[in-house]
Amino acid sequence: MTTVLIGVDWGSSNLRAFRFNPQGEVLETRHAAHGVTRFPAGEATAAMLAGLHDWLDACPGVPMLLCGMAGSKLGWREAPYLPAPADLATLSRGLVRFEAEQRQVAIIPGVSSFEDCAGFRDVMRGEETQALGLSAPVPLLIAPGTHSKWIRLEGARISGLHTAMTGELYAILRQHSLIAGVTSDGPWDAAAFHDGLNNARSHPDWLTQLFGVRARGVQAEMPPSSLAAWLSGLLIGYELVQGLARYPDLQQVAIVASAPLSDHYASALASRGIESQLIDGDQAVMRGLWRVAKEAQLV
Amino acid sequence: MTTVLIGVDWGSSNLRAFRFNPQGEVLETRHAAHGVTRFPAGEATAAMLAGLHDWLDACPGVPMLLCGMAGSKLGWREAPYLPAPADLATLSRGLVRFEAEQRQVAIIPGVSSFEDCAGFRDVMRGEETQALGLSAPVPLLIAPGTHSKWIRLEGARISGLHTAMTGELYAILRQHSLIAGVTSDGPWDAAAFHDGLNNARSHPDWLTQLFGVRARGVQAEMPPSSLAAWLSGLLIGYELVQGLARYPDLQQVAIVASAPLSDHYASALASRGIESQLIDGDQAVMRGLWRVAKEAQLV
């Protein structure tokens, strides 16, 4: 079982590593909570390497290819964002390459996009590699999460992106705001979620709607776990209202996320008449890493 | 110096108490951080009374009139919200009256409003008393803060209200989100504040604009304290966009808040061509308490 590449998607919170054989098949996968933000400044790279030391020992001289926050200031070595449009060739040419651990190391740069409709230079790290790893072309890849990414594709080329702060806002409202006291985890209430979605479509006054979550809770209009689903629907609903304004003719998207989040987005998009194709994140990033490695002649 | 009324604005975080003479003049004022949320459940009332024990001892039999969170579940005794429209007569008739501490006690109820444009029953406690204490009629009273209240007035009658979660959202974004790392307190940057205001008017994609605060910070487009002012402008800007949609012909408002918040709102409203009258919160609540006491024949 010859390993020819160690591929790593090293994100903010988590690490996913893959050992590839010469055919590009994955021999072994490792998941760990060793994201760049989990360690004190300056210690992340050593900790990441320590977590992979058995692979590194077993595969002397085998190149490493990394994507995600590996290329951020907090990661191994900074890889400046490449401006969209960007494709496999662009990203491979833009690799940050160096020698370390007695092997070639390469880091895939993130992608930035200045879209006039947002007014600032939006950025992503890691999702570009998933986009390069799609098995079939789609016009739009949505990677929901803490910072939800909407990635515009033209064939195999990344032509733009925008980010919505949906997941982070949901988390801090649930944990740190007065909404925390009226919401709780519990069985998923799909009806409440869809009611929240509809509310976002009909009520643009979002600062008031956020207060409404608390008011509904204090007035016991909905049980706490249903109100959590309603808030999720409200925020995802606003993400869709704002995102779909940029894609008025959209009929199909790909979603890369784990369940249940991917299901919630698919259900939300279905309510807007848009069909979703669910993408396995591991598979996508795996294929993306391999394609870049081939293009850059690392393997 | 005869005291005929002890008036108390007992809020979530703070307490303001006033001793009135027979002419309705305030003989003494006390401010304390003894809000209802500062004490364990069930202990707030005893602590509030302990903080006023010298006044109570010196004024046996003198009635007490309270407003604000005094009438909430966490306060002294629950006073159900009265639905708008509500005026001095309505609120005085709706007083929750009881005997305690060898004197008459009365709590002013909060006001609720179900406005079709928001879709839920919005509420306030305390601001209704400030609204009753205005010295001259205004069509709209804005009480910005954690939960910013927009109170619609017809003469001396409260005809509706809506709330925006602006202040709380600003605080939790500054403290608990990834925005925290790119913002800091510092000298007020009025230009950045106005840029944030303008951004809210031209960019309805607020979930993306919130991410943009972080992106701007990471890309060092603005110093951290300017970016904090920009975020403040962005959020207050959205509050204005949403609030002014309900008041298309507004020319003048009253603002009740302490500096510098009142100045920021006045400046934001001026940029929309709306004139502001700054109201002293102590004066307004003092007059409101006295007017209710007279109307209800407590004095």
Q: Do B165 and A208 touch (CB under 8 A)?
A: yes
pLDDT at B41: 84
Q: Which of A176, A215, A245 sits opposite B120 (nearest CB)?
A: A215
pLDDT at A95: 98
Q: What is the pLDDT of residues A79-105, one digit of tens each?
A: 999 999 999 999 999 999 999 999 999
Nearest-angstrom CA–CA distance, A262 and A284 = 15
pLDDT at A116: 78
Nearest-angstrom CA–CA distance, A241 and A239 = 6
Which of A198, A205, A219 best tests the B interface by mutation, with the highest count of B CBs <10 A? A205
Which of B121, B207, B219, B241 best tests the A interface by mutation, with the highest count of A CBs <10 A? B207
> How near does any CA of chain A get to the CA of B206, in Å?
8
Strands B140-143 and B252-256: parallel
- Residue A3 pLDDT grade (very low, low, confident, very high; cuts 50, 70, 90): very high
Residue A85, preceding peptide bond in cis (omega within 30° of 0): yes
Q: Which of B168, B178, B215 sits opposite A123 (nearest CB)?
A: B215
Say which CATH topology domain A164-280 has. Answer: Nucleotidyltransferase; domain 5 (3.30.420)
Q: Per-residue pLDDT for B1 more than 90?
A: no
Enumerate the residues of chain B whose CB falls inside 8 A of the CB of residue A118: 203, 205, 208-209, 212
Measured CA to CA in angstroms, residue A91 lies from A4, A24, A34, A59 at distances of: 20, 19, 25, 26
| Over residues A23-49, mean pLDDT | 93
Q: Do A163 and B221 touch (CB under 8 A)?
A: no
Mean pLDDT of chain A: 96
Q: What chain B residue is nearest to A242 in terms of C-alpha separation?
A: B205
Nearest-angstrom CA–CA distance, B232 and B258 = 16
Nearest-angstrom CA–CA distance, A168 and A146 = 5
Q: Which of A178, A202, A242 sits opposite B205 (nearest CB)?
A: A242
> How near does any CA of chain B get to the CA of A136, in Å?
28
Q: Per-residue pLDDT for A209 more than 90?
A: yes
Q: What are the residue ranges spanned by the domains of chain A?
A: 5-137+283-296, 164-280
- Residue A191 pLDDT grade (very low, low, confident, very high; cuts 50, 70, 90): very high
Q: What is the pLDDT of residues A7-22, one digit of tens each?
A: 999 998 899 999 999 9
pLDDT at B88: 97
| Over residues B139-152, mean pLDDT | 96
pLDDT at A140: 97
Instruction: Say if A129 is an interface residue toward chain B (CB within 8 Å).
Output: no
pLDDT at A112: 97
Tell me what percent of the residues of chain A surpass a pLDDT of 70: 100
DSSP-derived letter for residue A146 is S
CATH 3.30.420.300 assigned to domain A5-137+283-296? The reply is yes
Q: Per-residue pLDDT for B115 more than 90?
A: no
- Residue B116 pLDDT grade (very low, low, confident, very high; cuts 50, 70, 90): confident
Residue A60, preceding peptide bond in cis (omega within 30° of 0): no
For residues B144, B148, B153 and B158, what is the CA-based torsion angle, rounded to 10 degrees?
-130
- Residue B280 pLDDT grade (very low, low, confident, very high; cuts 50, 70, 90): very high
Nearest-angstrom CA–CA distance, B169 and A168 = 12
CATH 3.80.10.10 assigned to domain B5-135+282-295? The reply is no
Q: Per-residue pLDDT for A117 more than 90?
A: no
Angle subtended at Cα A15 by Cα A10 and Cα A21, rounded to the nearest 5 degrees = 90
Residue B260, preceding peptide bond in cis (omega within 30° of 0): yes
Q: Per-residue pLDDT for B117 more than 90?
A: no
Q: What chain A residue is nearest to B221 in terms of C-alpha separation?
A: A120
Q: Do A205 and B245 touch (CB under 8 A)?
A: yes
Instruction: Say if B119 is an interface residue toward chain A (CB within 8 Å).
Output: yes
> How near does any CA of chain B get to the CA of A250, in Å?
18
| Over residues B145-161, mean pLDDT | 95
Backbone conformation region of residue B93, classed left if phi is above 0, alpha if psi is from -120 to 50, else beta: alpha
Q: Do A239 and B165 touch (CB under 8 A)?
A: no
Mean pLDDT of chain B: 96
